[in-house]
Structure 1
Amino acid sequence: MRTVSFGMNISLDGYCDHTFANPDEALMDYFTAMMDGVDLFFFGRVMYQLMFPYWEEVAKAQSGTAAENKFAERFSAIDRVVMSRTLTGGDEKTRIVPSDPAGELLRLKQQPGKKISVDTVSMLPELISAGLIDEFNLVVHPVIVGKGRRLLEAGSLQEKLDLKLVETIRFKSGCMALHYESCTKSIIS
């Protein structure tokens, strides 16, 4: 059974907009290392379009810092499933699925492979409620932004989800990487 890991940058006040974050080299190295055990990304359309083709272009042109280029190369090499009713097609690394995110993730989780990285907040309540997220990797940035998309909207979960803190990494930039495991058994365990 594959592990499903949710990862996200977040402000101190709970917003997940990538425009407030400007990761330094140490944080980029952390993000790159996080992909070592990952062989599949599971995206919603918005996050997919935010990340691609940007990082693929950085990887091809080697237009970032050394740490950004390394991240871009690793990130671009991983296969991805994108949940979208509006996108069509895909490519050799991208498969578009139009509906049933929880069903699709459950099917993928049961297949052989390495870790699945979920990097989208739009489907998070549904995936948590289905018991499909095994671990959470949140990078808390030392900023209060006051607007944007929240990690979870009020009332989006039927029940609370208990988590166990596994690891904390403190960066010189003031960011904190928090790694939690879900205390709830998966629906397929």
Structure 2
Amino acid sequence: MRTVTFGMNISLDGYCDHTIFNPDMELHDYFTEMMEDVDLLFFGRVMYQLMFPYWADVAKNQSGTADENRFAERLTSIDKVVVSRSLEDVQENTRIVRSNPAEELRKLKQQPGKKISVDSVSMLPELIAAGLIDEFRLVVYPLMVGTGRRLLDTGNLHEKLNLKLVDTRVFKSGYVAHHYLKQ
């Protein structure tokens, strides 16, 4: 059975709006390295549209820094599933799922392969409740923003989820990456 990992950038005060974060070279390298064990990305529509076509264009045109280009190449090479009722067009090696993300992820988890990386705040409570998330990788930025989307809204988690910290990495910039396993 495949491992499902949830990854997210988050501010110190619990917000996860990717448009406010500015990863540096060291962090791009960390994300690229982390994706070596991943062969499927599972997105919600909002996160998918934040990432694509931007990173596909960077990979194609080599328009970023060296670390951004490596990240873009790895990201675009991985197969993707995007859950959306409204999205019409997607990049190559991506398919759209219209409903029941938990059931779709459960089926994908049963298939052979490497890790599945989930990147969707909107689906997180449902996927946790279904017992589908095996590990969490949170990168905390030394930033307080006071507004935006929270990782979990009040009342979204129906029972306490016990996690075990298995790794922490502190970056020169002050970012801290935490890797947790579900107990």
What TM-score range do you get, normalising by the shorter chain? over 0.9
CA distance in 2, matches of 1:149, 1:5: 20
CA contact 2:136–2:180 (8 Å) conserved in 1? yes
Partner of 2:99: 99
Structure 2 match to 1:157: 157
Q: Aligned residue for 1:48?
A: 48
Rounded to whole Å, the distance in 2 between the matches of 1:173 and 1:89 is 37
Partners of 1:158 and 1:101 in 2: CA distance: 18
Q: How many residues align?
A: 183
Distance 1:22 1:106 in 2: 33
**Cα distance in structure 2, aligned partners of 1:54 and 1:167:** 30
CA contact (8 A) 2:53 2:91 kept: no
Whole-Å separation in 2 of the counterparts to 1:44 and 1:134: 18
Contact 1:2 1:116 in 2 (8 A): yes
Given the alignment of the two structures, is residue 120 of structure 1 paired with residue 120 of structure 2, yes or no? yes
Counterpart-to-counterpart distance in 1, 2:40 and 2:101: 15
Unpaired stretches in structure 1, ≥5 consecutive residues: 184-189
CA distance in 1, matches of 2:53, 2:123: 22
- What's 1:145 paired with? 145
The corresponding residue for 1:4 is: 4
* Amino acid of the structure 2 residue aligned with 1:169: R
Cα displacement (A) at 1:92: 3.9
Contact map agreement 1:8 1:138 (CA 8 A) in 2: yes
Q: RMSD across aligned C-alpha pairs, in angstroms?
A: 0.8
C-alpha distance in 1 between matches for 2:36 and 2:158: 33
Instruction: State the identity as a percent.
Output: 72
Q: For each residue in 1:53-79, what CA deviation from the matched residue of structure 2 results, as whole angstroms up to 9, or x when unmatched?
A: 000000011111000000000000000
In 1, are the aligned partners of 2:52 and 2:91 still within 8 Å (CA)? Answer: no
What is the alpha-carbon distance in structure 1 between the residues aligned to residue 90 and residue 14 of structure 2? Answer: 32
Q: In the alignment, what sits opposite 1:31?
A: 31
Equivalent residue of 2:13, what SS?
coil
Residue in 2 that maps onto 1:67? 67
TM-score, normalised relative to structure 1? 0.95
Residue 91 of structure 1: how far off its partner (Å): 5.0
| Counterpart amino acid of residue 166 in structure 1 | V
Paired with 1:36 and 1:24, the residues of 2 have a C-alpha distance of 19
Task: In structure 2, give the amino acid aligned to 1:98.
Answer: R
Q: Residue deviations 1:76-103, cap 9 Å, x none? A: 0000001000013545401100000100
Show structure 1 runs of 4+ deviating over 2 A. Answer: 88-92
